[in-house]
Amino acid sequence: MEAPLILSNHDLRNTSARLAVLGIFQKYTYALSHSNIEKELQKDFDRVTIYRTIHSFLDKGIVHKVMDDSESAKYALCVDECSSDHHHDNHVHFKCSKCGNSECLNNIQIPLTNLPSGYIATESNLLIEGVCKACS
């Protein structure tokens, strides 16, 4: 989908910072950290703008967090119909031990687990580590 359309579908105005950050997410197939994005855009936008932009994307359901054990948080584009406060990214993430990149395996769902009574799941994360397609 075109970047301006993604923004308007998620109730965000088109700004140059949002279009630029979204463009970076669309360019890479793996999850990106704040510093990855800053490196690409440091000539055009300051850190605070980039930080705020990523967080507005997280709020609006454009990107989701990828928990991959790295020191810094990483984010990847949502493919499902995520919306404000309502993410449906129930897929497995894969971290490559060679290149260090983490990707979304969007077609592999995290299996539902039966929790003991009294426990309510709100979110689950599943990280598989190994060697990715590009490195194997």
Residues that bind Zn ion (CB under 5 A): 64, 76, 78, 82, 87, 89, 96, 98-99, 104, 132, 135
Separation CA 89–CA 131 (nearest Å): 22
CB of 71 to Zn ion, least distance (A): 18
Nearest to Zn ion of 20, 96 (CB atom): 96
Q: Is the dihedral of CA 22, 24, 30, 35 positive or negative?
A: negative
Separation CA 23–CA 83 (nearest Å): 19
Could you tell me the two tokens for 136?
């194997």
- Percent helix / strand / coil, the chain, rounded to 5: 30, 25, 45
CB of 9 to Zn ion, least distance (A): 13
CB of 119 to Zn ion, least distance (A): 23
Separation CA 80–CA 68 (nearest Å): 20
Nearest to Zn ion of 14, 97 (CB atom): 97
Nearest to Zn ion of 34, 87 (CB atom): 87
CB of 57 to Zn ion, least distance (A): 10
Nearest to Zn ion of 49, 83 (CB atom): 83
Separation CA 88–CA 66 (nearest Å): 13
3-class SS at 21?
A: helix
